[in-house]
């Protein structure tokens, strides 16, 4: 009998907690648990950062400490800031060995078909992802076009002016408590800069799909597309990410200038103990197009609402989100679109699946400011609930200060239909297989937007999740 | 075929929503035989199909149904499919987001390899694609069809063709065709019927055609014709029964079987009440 994957991961984590955490005497650096001015200063010092960044961090720390923990969304009452370790170096990962990785997790990698080279990284064992050769030649190609693509720490060293110009401009330090936290202790994340008129045809994923820095705890991602540029960035992985820390709080800022087009695809599947509190926001200028594709599995609580602020006329924002909430999980996800210029258009499509007592909430904000004439927006959220113990809620927030708008909003909640199950089973499919196919069909409109290998993994993962849920 | 199977239904009683619909039905179908089942609206024809296939809402309250002695009523619907039973639905269900090809590949993989476990390999894509293309050609279906979502937005006729496509690739020992002809245009009835006959000839399928009309039976020629009335088979005969119904309707059946007529009226009255309540 397959049991719930995430439960296994969570259970194992309990058992291994001390093995993984406290015997790690060879850590290159430990900031210890809890957050203080000293910790923040130490992070900045170790990274050898310029003074302005150090000040940015300290100001953020101050803001973080003053802001109360949000009371809306999910339950954050059990989140203990003093128990969290706020900084670890990539070399810390080498303290573990492949033999320590639980068999269940190795099994999952097999079943999903994760490439050998990526498995160790995902299991938190070293970062020996041997892709240097590919990585190098592709990097050269991009460099010739003037594209910058590196981790954000590197960007701060090599392109400090660019980082300084844009960081914190889309998501200011004081935006929310977790944005402040990230600003204080950020490490890693991706930096992308695409010059005017340059098209990057390959999704920016091949090299960075697995990268120690981009999957950090408090990663900070900053992406700038100059006028007329095109790019697609893909991050994350459908395999359960075996994390040693229970708080992940990323900030992603994206600037899409006039006539540029950008798509940001994320798939995350955190272990069952993780609070995943992410702030993602993009600004789309005149005639720019910004698309977020966001898939969330696992975690204890995910709060994530990718946003697009359309500030130039004719801008377009699109948010596609998939959430899968299993036992003990709460996915509080959705999207925000702000129409702040005329002739802007947006679409939010959200699909959620809840099973075994899992809870998914859709939270959507649609805002049209005064003067944003001829704004058009369509919000669709569909929830599929697999059993009576599971739950789904919808929280649409709509603020419209302009008369000349076209707005559509549809929400649906459904259960797996008995007729659908019977029909498929009458053709030889088992109940589990039939349910998996129906669930797969439910999210298919979004899965087909994913790059091929992610789509394949996503479907296999759903299959695995379903094996644990039926019968 | 030497290893010919037998589907045997004995004194089958079925209730739906607490109401007894079938009150003891007997029928034996051997592989290679063609049977026709006729009866007025609401007489229980689809109830028989669903009960045989294992729909959870159709409760078997008595009797048996076996294939070569194995009680199929004990099996889950997917096990019944693997045992060689197939139902072409009167109202096929749509499954959004699941393509015909993907669905059918899963179905074929299970039915042809009954020992297959969940998550195990599906039949090779190339062989499958070739096979389904050939069958679609024979049924005059556009190749694009395989990529459409199962029954989603299909016209009535397309749904029925898709059912027969499934029949053709699943090659069951026994197929129940529940009003496959309804909603089909005149040419489509012929094309679909020829498809059924081709499958039946190749795999010596035993066929139970449920219909209201003579037309489909001029292509799929039954040796045996049964009339379901008031929850029981009241008449058995040959093709001449079909002609008599076509010419005279069911009045003579009523007159000849007053007890069954009383039950038929009860069912109809219950339906009328139910419709009144929901309106
Ligand atoms: N799910 C259900 N719930 C309640 N009553 C049902 C259900 N399914 C069938 N019935 C009732 O059972 C009786 C037989 O219905 P059935 O669908 O078997 O008739 P049929 O002979 O196939 O009719 P038709 O020729 O119109 O297809 C009818 O009175 C019908 O209302
Ligand atoms: Mg019927």
pLDDT tens digits for range A326-375: 999 999 999 999 999 999 999 999 999 999 999 999 999 999 999 999 99
Contact A428 B102 (CB under 8 A): no
Q: What does the alpha-carbon distance between residue B173 and residue B74 come to, in Å, rounded to a whole number? A: 18
Q: Which of residues 163-192 of B touch A (CB under 8 A)?
A: 166, 170
Pair of tokens at residue A407: 């707005």
Probe target for ligand 1 pocket from B38, B43, B272, with the most ligand atoms within 8 Å of CB: B43
Probe target for ligand 1 pocket from B36, B40, B41, B42, with the most ligand atoms within 8 Å of CB: B42
* Mutation site for A-interface testing, chosen from B16, B52, B119 by largest number of A Cβ within 10 Å: B119
Would you place residue A237 in the very low, low, confident or very high pLDDT band (cuts 50, 70, 90)? low
Cβ-based contacts of A441 with chain B (< 8 Å): 95-98, 149
What residues in chain A have their Cβ under 8 A from chain B's Cβ atoms?
111, 417-420, 422-434, 437-438, 440-445, 463-464, 467
Cβ-based contacts of B118 with chain A (< 8 Å): 430, 432-433, 467
CA of B90 relative to ligand 2 center, distance in Å = 6
Residue B250 pLDDT: 94
Q: What does the alpha-carbon distance between residue A345 and residue A325 come to, in Å, rounded to a whole number? A: 30
Query: By CA distance, what is B110's nearest residue in A?
Result: A428
Q: DSSP 3-state assignment of A313? A: coil
pTM comes to 0.79
Q: Which of A90-94, A95-99, A358-362, A430-434 has the highest mean pLDDT?
A: A358-362
Residue A9 pLDDT: 31
Share of chain A above pLDDT 90, in %: 54
Among the residue ranges A393-397, A410-414, A460-464, B257-261, the one predicted with the least confidence is A460-464
Among the residue ranges A249-258, A337-346, A443-452, the one predicted with the least confidence is A443-452
Residues with Cβ–ion distance below 5 A, ligand 2? B 45-46, 90
DSSP class of residue B149 equals: B
**Residue pair A310/A316 in contact by the 8 Å Cβ criterion:** yes
Residue A471 pLDDT: 29
Mean pLDDT of B22-43: 96
Say which of A425, A432, A437 has its CB closest to residue B77: A425
Among the residue ranges A2-6, A238-242, B10-14, B269-273, the one predicted with the least confidence is A2-6
What backbone torsions phi and psi does residue A239 show, to the nearest 5 degrees? -70, 150
Q: What does the alpha-carbon distance between residue A57 and residue B119 come to, in Å, rounded to a whole number? A: 49
| Interface confidence (ipTM) of the complex | 0.96
Query: By CA distance, what is A419's nearest residue in B?
Result: B93
DSSP class of residue B146 equals: G
Ligand in closest contact with the CA of B89: 2
Residue range B179-234, pLDDT digits in tens: 999 989 999 999 999 999 999 999 999 999 999 999 999 999 999 999 999 999 99
Element (H, E) at B46: helix B45-53
In CATH terms, B6-92+156-278 corresponds, of 3.40.50.300, 3.30.470.20, 3.40.50.2300, 3.20.20.70, to 3.40.50.300
Q: Tell me, using a 6 A CB cutoff, whether residue B45 lines ligand 1.
A: yes
Contact B81 A426 (CB under 8 A): yes
Residue A105 pLDDT: 60
Q: Tell me, using a 6 A CB cutoff, whether residue B211 lines ligand 1.
A: no
> Does residue A430 have a pLDDT over 60?
yes
Residue A445 pLDDT: 84
Contact B78 A445 (CB under 8 A): no
Instruction: Quickly list DSSP for A29-90.
Output: -B--BS--HHHHHHHHHHTT--HHHHHHHHHHHHHHHHSPPP-SSS--TT--GGG-B--B-G
Residue A88 pLDDT: 65
> Does residue B279 have a pLDDT over 60?
no
What backbone torsions phi and psi does residue B102 show, to the nearest 5 degrees? -65, -45
Ligand 1 atom with least separation from CA of B39: 21
Residue A98 pLDDT: 63
DSSP class of residue A120 equals: H
Mean pLDDT of chain A: 82
Query: By CA distance, what is B169's nearest residue in A?
Result: A427
* Mutation site for B-interface testing, chosen from A428, A430, A463 by largest number of B Cβ within 10 Å: A428
DSSP class of residue A200 equals: -
Query: By CA distance, what is B77's nearest residue in A?
Result: A426
Domain ranges, ordered by start, for chain B:
6-92+156-278
> Does residue A135 have a pLDDT over 90?
no
Would you place residue B2 in the very low, low, confident or very high pLDDT band (cuts 50, 70, 90)? very low
E-strand stretches of A369-404: 375-385, 391-400
Q: What does the alpha-carbon distance between residue A412 and residue A287 come to, in Å, rounded to a whole number? A: 32
Residue range A272-321, pLDDT digits in tens: 888 999 999 999 999 999 999 999 988 899 999 999 999 999 999 999 99
Ligand 1 atom with least separation from CA of B274: 31
Share of chain B above pLDDT 90, in %: 85
Residue B121 pLDDT: 85
Pair of tokens at residue A290: 């910004």
> Does residue A27 have a pLDDT over 70?
no
Instruction: Quickly list DSSP for A324-378.
Output: EE-TT-EEEEEEEEEE-STT-EEEEEEEEEE-TT-EEEEEEEEEE-TT-TTEEEE
> Does residue A241 have a pLDDT over 80?
no
> Does residue A103 have a pLDDT over 70?
no
The edge-to-edge listing of strands for the beta sheet with B58-67 is B19-30, B6-16, B58-67, B70-71
Among the residue ranges A30-39, A91-100, A272-281, B105-114, the one predicted with the least confidence is A91-100
Cβ-based contacts of A471 with chain B (< 8 Å): none
Say which of B77, B102, B118 has its CB closest to residue A467: B118
User: CA of B34 to nearest chain A CA: how many angstroms apart?
Assistant: 21
Q: What does the alpha-carbon distance between residue A438 and residue B267 come to, in Å, rounded to a whole number? A: 35
Mean pLDDT of A187-199: 92
Q: Tell me, using a 6 A CB cutoff, whether residue B47 lines ligand 1.
A: yes
The number of C-beta contacts closer than 8 angstroms across A and B is 92
Among the residue ranges A124-133, A215-224, A263-272, B82-91, the one predicted with the least confidence is A124-133
Ligand 1 atom with least separation from CA of B90: 27
**B223, exposed or middle or buried, with CB in 10 Å at 0-12, 13-18, 19+?**
exposed
Residue A15 pLDDT: 30
Ligand 1 atom with least separation from CA of B44: 18
Query: By CA distance, what is A460's nearest residue in B?
Result: B119
Contact A437 B107 (CB under 8 A): no
> Does residue A451 have a pLDDT over 90?
no
> Does residue B14 have a pLDDT over 60?
yes
In Å, how far are A135, A187, A241 from A131, measured between CA atoms? Answer: 6, 22, 20
Q: Whose CA is nearest to atom 28 of ligand 1?
A: B42
Mean pLDDT of A149-169: 93
Q: What does the alpha-carbon distance between residue A463 and residue A436 come to, in Å, rounded to a whole number? A: 5
């Amino acid at each position: 009998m397959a049991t719930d994957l995430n439960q296994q991961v969570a259970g194992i984590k309990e058992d291994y907690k001390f093995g993984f955490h406290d015997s790690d005497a060879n850590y290159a650096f430990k900031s210890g648990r809890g957050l203080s001015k000293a910790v923040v200063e130490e992070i900045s010092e170790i990274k050898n950062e310029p003074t302005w960044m150090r000040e940015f961090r300290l100001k953020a720390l101050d803001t973080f400490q003053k802001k109360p923990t949000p009371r809306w969304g999910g339950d954050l009452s059990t989140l203990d800031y003093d128990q969290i370790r706020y900084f670890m170096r990539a070399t810390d990962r080498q303290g573990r060995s492949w033999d320590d990785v639980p068999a269940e997790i190795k099994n999952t990698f097999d079943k999903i078909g994760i490439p050998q080279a990526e498995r160790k990284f995902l299991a938190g064992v070293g970062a020996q992802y041997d892709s240097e050769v590919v990585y190098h030649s592709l990097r050269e190609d991009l460099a010739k076009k003037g594209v910058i693509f590196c981790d954000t720490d590197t960007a701060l060293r090599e392109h400090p002016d660019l980082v300084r110009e844009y960081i914190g401009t889309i998501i200011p330090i004081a935006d929310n408590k977790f944005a402040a936290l990230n600003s204080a202790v950020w490490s890693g994340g991706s930096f992308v800069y695409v010059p005017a008129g340059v098209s990057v045809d390959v999704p920016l994923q091949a090299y960075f799909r697995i990268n120690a820095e981009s999957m950090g705890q408090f990663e900070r991602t900053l992406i700038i597309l100059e006028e007329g540029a095109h790019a697609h960035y893909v991050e994350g992985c459908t395999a359960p990410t075996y994390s040693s820390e229970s708080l992940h709080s990323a900030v992603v800022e994206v600037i899409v200038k006039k006539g540029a087009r950008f798509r940001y695809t994320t798939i995350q599947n955190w272990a069952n103990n993780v609070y995943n509190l992410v702030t993602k926001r993009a600004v789309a200028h005149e005639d720019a197009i910004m698309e977020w594709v966001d898939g969330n599995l696992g975690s204890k609580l995910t709060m994530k609402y990718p946003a697009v602020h359309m500030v130039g006329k004719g801008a377009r924002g699109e948010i596609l989100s998939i959430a899968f909430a299993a036992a003990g999980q709460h996915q509080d996800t959705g999207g925000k679109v702000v129409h702040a210029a005329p002739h802007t258009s947006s679409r939010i499509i959200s699909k959620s699946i809840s099973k075994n007592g899992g809870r998914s909430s859709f939270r959507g904000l649609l805002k049209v400011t005064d003067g944003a004439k001829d704004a058009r927006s369509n919000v669709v959220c569909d929830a599929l609930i697999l059993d009576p113990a599971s739950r789904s809620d919808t929280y649409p927030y709509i603020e419209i200060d302009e008369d000349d708008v076209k707005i559509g909003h549809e929400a649906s909640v459904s259960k797996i239909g008995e007729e659908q199950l019977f029909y498929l089973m009458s053709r030889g499919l088992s109940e589990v297989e039939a349910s998996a196919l129906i669930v797969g069909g439910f999210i298919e409109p979004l899965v087909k937007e994913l790059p091929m290998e992610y789509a394949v993994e996503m479907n296999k993962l759903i299959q695995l999740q379903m094996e644990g849920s039926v019968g | 075929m030497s290893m010919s199977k037998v589907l045997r239904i004995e004194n089958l009683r079925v209730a739906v929503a607490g109401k007894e619909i079938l009150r003891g039905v007997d029928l034996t179908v051997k592989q290679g035989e063609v049977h026709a089942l006729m009866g007025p609206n609401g007489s229980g024809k689809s109830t028989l199909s669903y009960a045989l296939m294992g729909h959870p809402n159709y409760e078997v309250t008595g009797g048996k149904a076996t294939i070569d002695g194995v009680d199929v009523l004990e099996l889950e619907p997917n096990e019944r499919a693997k045992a060689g039973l197939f139902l072409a639905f009167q109202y096929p269900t749509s499954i959004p987001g699941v393509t015909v090809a993907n669905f059918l590949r899963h179905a074929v993989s299970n039915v042809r390899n009954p020992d297959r476990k969940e998550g195990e390999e599906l039949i090779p894509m190339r062989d499958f694609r070739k096979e389904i293309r050939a069958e679609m050609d024979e049924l005059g279906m556009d190749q694009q069809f395989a990529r459409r979502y199962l029954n989603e937005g299909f016209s009535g006729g397309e749904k029925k063709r898709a059912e027969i496509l499934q029949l053709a690739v699943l090659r069951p020992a026994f197929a129940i065709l529940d009003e496959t002809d309804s909603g089909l245009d005149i040419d489509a009835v012929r094309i679909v019927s020829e498809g059924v006959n081709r499958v039946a000839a190749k795999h010596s399928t035993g066929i139970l055609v449920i219909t209201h009309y003579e037309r489909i039976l001029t292509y799929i020629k039954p040796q045996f014709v049964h009339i379901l009335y008031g929850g029981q088979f009241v008449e058995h005969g040959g093709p001449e029964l079909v002609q008599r119904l076509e010419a005279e309707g069911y009045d003579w059946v009523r007159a000849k079987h007053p007890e069954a007529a009383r039950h038929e009226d009860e069912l109809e009255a219950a339906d009328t009440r139910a419709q009144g309540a929901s309106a």
